[in-house]
Chain A
C-alpha cells in the first residue's frame, strides 16, 4: 500500500523515539564527553581532545585486553558457526520429533551468560565438578580448576562460550537449511555426491548469506564479551582473560576513572562498527548480483 507522510510518521516515530532516547542520544553525548575530562563525580570539566583515547591505547593492560578478545573472537566464532552448522545439518531432514529435538538442543542458550558463569564455576570446582568426576573414574588425581590457570583460562572461557552459543547458531541455521528445495539434495545424491559433497555443494552455498548474518551477530557479541568472564575469572589470572568490556567496566565503576572507561567503551563500538561496515559491503554485494 502507498504510505502517506502521516502513515510513515505513525510507523517510524515509536522506533525513532525508543532508539533515539535510549541508545543513540546517550551514546553520542557519551562520545562527546570522551573528548573532555568529564566524569559524573566532578562538577567542572574541560576539553581534552584525544587525550583519553591516547591514554587507553597506550595502557599495556588495554593492549592485553584487545589481544585476548581478538583471540577469543577468531577462535570462538568459527567454532560456534562450525558446530552449530553441523548440528543444523543433522537436524535438517524431517523425522519424527524433529521440532522437539530442536527445542531441546536450544537449552544451553536459555541459560543466561551470568548463570552459565555460576554453573561452570561449580562444574570446574573439584568437590562438585564434572571434570574431576570423570578423572576420578580413570584413577586420576584431582585437577585444579582450569579457570585459575594462566594458560588454560582463556581456552576454557572459549569452550564455555561455545557450549552456550553453538546451540543458538543451530537454532538460527535450521530454517535456512530447511528452506533448500528437496530436489537440490536429491539431484546432488543422484549425481553421486557424498555427504561431504552435499555439504560443500548444496548446504554451504544455500546457507552462505545466513552464515554471514549470524557471523556478524556472533562477532559483535564476542567483541563485547563480559558477563560470563566477570563471574568465572573477573579477567584473571593476571590479565589472562581481561577483555575491553571488562576493562571499561572496571575503570568506570571500580577505579572511578570514568573518562578512560567511556573512551575504551567507544573503542569497542568502533571495532564492531568497523566489522559492521565490512558486513554491509558483503551483504549488499551479494544481493546486487
Chain B
C-alpha cells in the first residue's frame, strides 16, 4: 500500500521536474513551427498557425547549413569510431597488463578527460597551421577523437575489469591469439558498454565547439562553429529560423538516444568495487 503511494508521489514529482526542464525546449520547438508568444497583449497570447516554412528559411540565413550538418555528422561519426576503437584496445591492455599503479593510472585518464579544451587548443591550432593542415577534415576528426579518448578509456576499462577472465584463458588454451580473444570473447561480452560509449562520445563530438573552431579558417565548418559565427559577427538571426536550426541539430541526437535508451544504461563511470579485481 505505502509502496504504491510511494511510486505515485515519485511519478508526480518526476513529471513536475521533467516538465520544468523541458519547457525551454518545448518553447523552441513551438517557435520553430512559427507558434510564437505575443508578450505585449494582456494576458499574453499565442500567434500561429503552425508552419514548416522556417525550416526552409535556414538555408537562406546560412546557405551552407545543410553542408555543415553533413560535416558535423560525418566528423562526429568518424571521431567516435576512432575513439572507441583505440580506447577499447588501450582499456583492455590496462585491465590485463598488471602495470604498477594501474589503479591510479585509470584515474589519471579521468583527470585528462576533465581538462577543458581551452587548456590545450591554442598550441594545437598553431602547430596545425604551421603544418598546413588547417581546414582538413581528417585533422578535425583526429583532434576530436583525441579529446574524447580519455573518457572512453576510463569507461571501457571499468567495463572490462568486471569481466571474469576464465573465457579468455580458455580461448588462449585453445590456441587463440590476442586479436581472436578480443574479437570473439571480449568484444561480444562488453558490446553494450562499447555501444553506449560510442553514443555518448558521438554526442560530445557533435556538440564540440572549440576544437573544430580553432582548427579551421572557415572552409570546413561544423554546426556549432556556424552557430557561433552568427553571434560573434553580429549577423542577426530571426528567432523562428534559429529555433528551426536548433531543432534540426537536436533531433538526430534525440532519435539516437531514444533508439538506444536501453543500451545507454550500460554507460557508467562507476569504478568496480575493490574486491572484484582479481
Q: Are B114 and A110 in contact (CB under 8 A)?
A: no
Assign chain A's interface to a size class.
35 or more
Q: Are B27 and A179 in contact (CB under 8 A)?
A: no
Distance of A21 Cα from B232 Cα, bound (Å): 31
Q: Are A118 and B270 in contact (CB under 8 A)?
A: no
Within 8 A of A (CB), among B53-86: 82, 85-86
Within 8 A of A (CB), among B97-151: 97, 103-104, 107-108, 110-124, 126-127, 129-130, 142-143, 145-147, 149-150
From residue B181, how far is it (CB to closest CB) to chain A in Å? 6
Q: Are B146 and A272 in contact (CB under 8 A)?
A: no
Find the A residue at minimum CB distance from B12: A90
From residue A206, how far is it (CB to closest CB) to chain B in Å? 10
Q: Which residues of B contact A115 (CB under 8 A)?
A: 207, 224, 227, 246, 249-250
Q: Are B116 and A14 in contact (CB under 8 A)?
A: no
Q: Are A30 and B126 in contact (CB under 8 A)?
A: yes
Q: Are B246 and A11 in contact (CB under 8 A)?
A: no
Find the B residue at minimum CB distance from A176: B270
Distance of A151 Cα from B122 Cα, bound (Å): 31
Distance of A129 Cα from B36 Cα, bound (Å): 9
Q: Which of A11, A100, A125, A287 contacts B90 (CB 8 A)?
A: A11
Find the B residue at minimum CB distance from A282: B107
Q: Does B42 contact A (CB under 8 A)?
A: yes
Given A19-B146, A110-B203, A115-B246, verify A262-B122 contact (CB < 8 Å). yes
Within 8 A of B (CB), among A140-191: 142, 163, 166-167, 171-172, 174-176, 179
Q: How many B residues have CB within 8 A of the partner chain?
A: 107
Q: Which of A87, A106, A133 contacts B14 (CB 8 A)?
A: A87
Distance of A95 Cα from B7 Cα, bound (Å): 8
Q: Which residues of A contact B44 (CB under 8 A)?
A: 132-133, 136-137
Given A108-B21, A122-B239, verify A216-B114 contact (CB < 8 Å). yes
Given A120-B24, A226-B118, verify A128-B270 contact (CB < 8 Å). no
Q: Are B228 and A110 in contact (CB under 8 A)?
A: no
From residue B135, how far is it (CB to closest CB) to chain A in Å? 16
Q: Which residues of B contact A279 (CB under 8 A)?
A: 107, 110-111
Q: Are B96 and A266 in contact (CB under 8 A)?
A: no
Q: Which residues of A contact B165 (CB under 8 A)?
A: 1
Q: Are B87 and A1 in contact (CB under 8 A)?
A: no
From residue A231, how far is it (CB to closest CB) to chain B in Å? 5
Q: Does A66 contact B (CB under 8 A)?
A: no
Q: Are A227 and B209 in contact (CB under 8 A)?
A: yes
Distance of A33 Cα from B125 Cα, bound (Å): 14
Q: Are B246 and A276 in contact (CB under 8 A)?
A: no
Given A11-B90, A18-B149, verify A103-B267 contact (CB < 8 Å). no
Q: Which of A91, A133, A284 contacts B37 (CB 8 A)?
A: A133
Q: Which residues of B contact A8 (CB under 8 A)?
A: 93, 97
Q: Which residues of B contact A18 (CB under 8 A)?
A: 82, 86, 142, 145-146, 149
Distance of A224 Cα from B211 Cα, bound (Å): 13
Distance of A281 Cα from B127 Cα, bound (Å): 34
Distance of A19 Cα from B89 Cα, bound (Å): 14
Given A18-B145, A123-B27, A172-B269, verify A230-B228 contact (CB < 8 Å). yes
Find the B residue at minimum CB distance from A14: B86
Name which of B25, B85, B114, B145 has the most chain A CB atoms within 10 A of its CB.
B114
Q: Which of B13, B114, B261 contacts A219 (CB 8 A)?
A: B114
Distance of A201 Cα from B24 Cα, bound (Å): 35
Q: Are B253 and A110 in contact (CB under 8 A)?
A: yes
Find the A residue at minimum CB distance from B152: A15
Q: Are B265 and A175 in contact (CB under 8 A)?
A: yes
Q: Are B114 and A231 in contact (CB under 8 A)?
A: no
Q: Are A265 and B120 in contact (CB under 8 A)?
A: yes
Q: Which of A19, A40, A120, A176 contacts B150 (CB 8 A)?
A: A19
Q: Are A210 and B270 in contact (CB under 8 A)?
A: yes
Q: Which residues of A contact B145 (CB under 8 A)?
A: 18, 22
Q: Are A245 and B231 in contact (CB under 8 A)?
A: no
Q: Does A26 contact B (CB under 8 A)?
A: yes
Distance of A171 Cα from B264 Cα, bound (Å): 9
Q: Are A113 and B120 in contact (CB under 8 A)?
A: no
Name which of B17, B39, B142 has the most chain A CB atoms within 10 A of its CB.
B39
Q: Which residues of B contact A22 (CB under 8 A)?
A: 124, 142-143, 145-146
Closest 4 A-B residue pairs measured CB to CB? A224-B116, A30-B123, A220-B114, A11-B93
A sample of 11 more A-B contacts (CB under 8 A), given A3-B93, A26-B120, is: A30-B124, A40-B126, A110-B254, A120-B24, A130-B27, A172-B268, A226-B209, A231-B228, A276-B111, A276-B114, A283-B104
Q: List 23 A-B contacts (CB under 8 A).
A: A1-B168, A7-B93, A12-B89, A14-B85, A15-B90, A23-B120, A26-B124, A100-B258, A104-B18, A107-B257, A108-B22, A114-B207, A119-B242, A127-B239, A129-B39, A166-B21, A175-B267, A210-B268, A248-B118, A261-B122, A272-B114, A283-B107, A283-B271
